[in-house]
Amino acid sequence: MSPLPPPRLPQVFLRWALPPGASGESIKGDLDQEYMERRNGHPQASVSGWYAFEALKLGFRFLLERIRPTPGRVGQGGRTPKRSSPVERFREEIGLSFRLLLRSPWLTAFAVVAMGLGIGVTATMYSFTHTVLQDLPYSESEELVSLNWDDVTSGWENMRLTAGEFDSWRDTQTTLEGLAAYRSTMADLADDTGEPEQLAAAYLSANAFTILGIQPARGRNFLEEEERPDGQGVALLSHRLWNRRYGADPEILGKSIRVNGIERTVVGIMPEGIHFPEWEDVWVPLLIDPTNEAGGAARRFVTFGRIREGADFSQAEAEFRTLAGQTALSAPEDYQNLTFRFRSYRSYILGEEAAPISLGLLAVISFVLLIACASVANLLLARAARRSRELAVQVALGAGRGRIIGQILAESLVISTMGGLLGVGLAYLGTAAMRRGLEAEPIPFSWMAIEVDPAVLAFTFGLVFIASLLAGVVPGLRASRVDVNEVLKDEGRGSTGLRMGRLSRALVISEVGLSCALLIIAGLLAKAPVEWSRSDPGFDKEGMFTGGITLRTTMYPASEDVLHFQTDLLERLKGIPGVTHAAFSSRLPGQRGAVWTFHHHGIAYEREQDLPRARGMVVGPGFFETVGVSLSGGRAFSNSDHSESPPVIIVNQSFAQQYFPEGSPLGRQIRVGGLDTEDSWRTVVGVAPDLTMAGPPSVEGSGFYLPLRQQPERDIKILLRTAGEPLALTPAVRTTVAELDQDLPVHSVNTLAREIMRDMTAEFVMAGLLIISGVAALVLAAIGLFGILAFTVQARTREIGIRMALGAESGKVLWGTLRSGMTQVGLGLVMGMALALLMASVLGELFHQTDPLDKTVWASVIFLLAIVGFLASWVPALRAVRTDPVTALRHE
Amino acid sequence: MSKGFLGEFEQMVLLAILQMGEKAFGLEIRREIEESAGRAVSRGAFYTTLDRMEKKGYLEWTEKVPEDAERKAPLRRFSLTPEGMRALRASHRAVSNLSRGLDQLLEES
């Protein structure tokens, strides 16, 4: 067994801290030797810990020694009277402040922690919002624009372009460097190297990467002729996929892979980190064929371009509005409800709400930063106030104003440096934790890596440093100007001497207020997701395996093939040991269902928008049994509900109440689809209980279920009920599917419970961020309050001692301190509630169904703050009472 | 030039070096003091004191290659300079002068 050397980081620190040369080396050597001796008989972790701790102590001792202005306390000849250089004097000041700060270690620790916490939390949060607000990772990305249609009547926004629009505009336009289009999809990738898998893929026009300014790292880009139906056999791979699946083998170029069953030759590998538009790993050429009836009119093309040099946004917008107007004129009926939208690609891809939400978060974060500043400032104020007597003595002895301010600056600098280091550490830990927390649900865009931004770090640090500086300089200035006689007469009651009391009380009040507002908002935001996660979805979400399979038209051209495969697969899945029930559905229960329009029998609808809407899901036989609910009326679907049998439908209870309030829905007729639907009239054969269909955060909603065998669905979810661990079924499921189709991947494997939680990830992350900020704010405010009271008590020790000696009741002394603290907390709470009310009215929409005045949230926040405030005042108050009059009188 | 008296800890360090003679290596000196004084000696305080007394000219050291193969760093063997000897004597004299006739009292504790 080879013995482990001492931990590396402490060693590096020691080398840096110890004197250079043989003496330093030998001192470190001594510690190393002790470490090696210790290793026998102690567990490794404890020895490493011991080494780190000892190295830290030893190193710090030498660092302190280095900044000591005079050599040793023994036999020293006093400070040298000769004038020292500014640098030396600065070093002296720093050394002096170190020692002064160590004399009140608690205050120093509080200030450092407050500062570190403030910097750490805000830098973490800023880093998070920065990832959302940053530029897209394409060269001159602000020049990229996006072309869309909005439907004014139906509310559909950001509709894509048709192949026809795209094809005609790209030839006529002059203001863009080129018009490119893409369509994202999921693709099944298969080859001879391993298991098939489903990946995010995109169909791209040949010029897309060129317009983005990205060249393949290897191989070539798509060619224009590959956009035509006969040139489709090529593909580009992402660097990540190339590494993971093909071991970065350059020989893959020119080899053949199967994408959705179509043979394609790999012609290029894109550079690392490129996953345009979101997380795509495979790209294939977009088929641009406006003459194709079905594909030509469908709005499938996400279209973007880059503004040509010499043109600007408004020129381009004007040109495309004209083009859009001409196109609309050519077919007025198709375009009567559509308005053309021309905007930056960034705002298209991130969504319009991304910016305000991030800015809201920024505002909240700034609160924390403000609180941190106030906290640090307050502690330093308390400190400066306490030192007013000492400063006055210095002034009396002839110290100049510059000297005193220099001292205070040095102190601020020392505290800021320590707090800053702590803050940087916390920021890195925080972002790492955040990355971990988001692992389950990848951030929507590949370029959004959550990393600490040095600029952000510098900014937060600068702000807190300035605050600490101000907090030092203001009392410093007052002290240097102060009437020396007055202060010297004022026995130790520093805070009264410099009249700093009012300012620091105001700071505590605003800290309490800000954290109160922050916590209320965080609570309101968190309530809906938390409640939703606890709510009863109407079924048992535990013990359920879920996965998905997609049957491509290339492999399964006819609906019969799809049905046949699905029937076959279901039987086999039921045979897997441990599976008690199995079923297919188009969506997972508990997740958002698609919105369908439908027709009531006997009502004539004139316009599309008159049709009623409800959530719909296609489910196979055994679905309700597998989910574990029984129908409240009628019957479930069975194998005899197929394409030849009478069309049927099952509605849920909300649907029954909303659309058939007068009686039983059983036997009534509905058909689904738009005005031109070809759906036949379906008879309601069952009423199901309400299972979450609208998706989070709402639990209820009208919905219906269609039988899979009458409404074939290629993209289905597998649901397997098991008594054991659901994911233990994964290998068996994959083998079962592979028995039927070797190229068919099972994707999105997860437990149902976790899949359902995923829908709320964004809400949870946001609420979590706010709660962390709120708690940090609370801690900061508590530190501020505690610090200020503790130091008031300490400063008044003598006075309290005298009063106690003269027979003052301890209860009165206790109450006095407590009251002063609680008054500040109370005022802070009032201010915080007012602020929260104001913010709640602005942010109201983010709270989902939670009432901005929700009693539980408000009451618990106020209660929490009151308790914390009470404790922060109680401890110093107790200390005041415990003061021994004799010691107190001696206290200086 | 008088540099005043040595501190208690400084005296202990110098005495330990004298006691140990040829074996006065850093690690061993600290252990000797810990054993004789019966209390832990912080590494930081110990090594900075050595450094400080070296700067004052009370002690000096020579580098020695360690015999232990596992240890790569050099050893320092400390010894007192004449100046250090004088300072120790002066301090010691002062202490013993002051403790004249108090032996019984001092032994008791």
pLDDT digits (tens, 9 = 90+) for A494-536: 444 445 567 778 888 888 888 898 888 888 878 877 777 777 7
Partner residue opposite A19 with nearest CB, options B44, B51, B74: B51
- Reported as a single tens digit per residue, the pLDDT across A417-455 is 888 888 888 888 888 877 776 665 555 666 666 777 777
Token duo for residue A870: 């009470």
Tell me the shortest Cα–Cα distance from A79 to chain B, in angstroms: 14
Q: Are A36 and B74 within 8 A, CB to CB? A: no
Question: Residue A24 in contact with residue A15, Cβ under 8 Å?
Answer: yes
SS3 label, residue A218? strand
When CB atoms are compared, the residue of A31, A36, A61 closest to B45 is A61
pLDDT in the model for residue A760: 66
Task: Report pLDDT for A154.
Answer: 63
Contact B44 A30 (CB under 8 A): no
Distance CA A383, CA A412 (A): 11
- Chain B: residue whose CA lies nearest to A32: B71
Band of the pLDDT at A78, cuts 50, 70, 90? Answer: very low
Average pLDDT, chain A: 80
The DSSP string of chain B is ----PPPHHHHHHHHHHHHHGGG-BHHHHHHHHHHHHTS---HHHHHHHHHHHHHTTSEEEEEE--SSTT--SPEEEEEE-HHHHHHHHHHHHHHHHHTTT-HHHHHH-
Mean pLDDT of the A781-790 span: 78
Contacts A23 to B, Cβ<8 Å: 51, 54, 61, 76
* Rounded Cα–Cα distance for residues A476 and A401 (Å): 8
Q: Where are the alpha helices (DSSP H) in A449-553?
A: 454-481, 484-489, 494-497, 501-534
Within a 10 A sphere around the Cβ of A341, how many other Cβ atoms?
A: 18
Residue with the two structure tokens 């020692």: A99
Q: Is the pLDDT of residue A308 over 60?
A: yes
CA distance A481 to A494: 15
Three-state secondary structure readout of A140-186: CHHHEEEEEEEECCCCCCCECEEHHHHHHHHHHCCCEEEEEEEEEEE
pTM of the model: 0.59
- In three-state secondary structure terms, A448 is coil
Peptide bond into A277 cis (omega under 30): yes
Average pLDDT, chain B: 86
| β pairing state of A703-707 and A613-619 | parallel
C-alpha A164/C-alpha A172 separation (Å) is 13
On chain B, the residues whose CB falls within 8 A of the CB of A69 are: none
Residue A479 — very low, low, confident or very high, per pLDDT cuts 50/70/90?
A: low
Residue A406, min C-alpha distance to chain B (Å): 29
Q: Torsions phi, psi of B29, nearest 5?
A: -60, -45
* Best CA proximity match to A479, nearest among A414, A410, A399, A416: A399
Contact B68/A at CB under 8 A: yes
Inform me whether the C-beta atom of residue B22 falls under 8 Å from chain A C-beta atoms: no
- What is the pLDDT, as a whole number, of residue A761? 66
What integer pLDDT is reported at residue A71 of this predicted model?
Answer: 45
- Which of B26, B44, B68 is nearest residue A57 as measured by Cβ atoms? B44
Q: What is the mean pLDDT of residues A27-46?
A: 84
The pLDDT of A292-320, averaged and rounded, is 83
Chain B residues whose CB is inside 8 A of the A33 CB are 27, 68, 70-71
CA distance A252 to chain B (A): 51
pLDDT by residue (tens digit) across A619-672?
999 999 998 888 888 899 988 888 889 999 999 888 898 888 888 889 999 998
C-alpha separations of A797 from A742, A759, A818 in Å: 82, 57, 15
DSSP state of A690: -
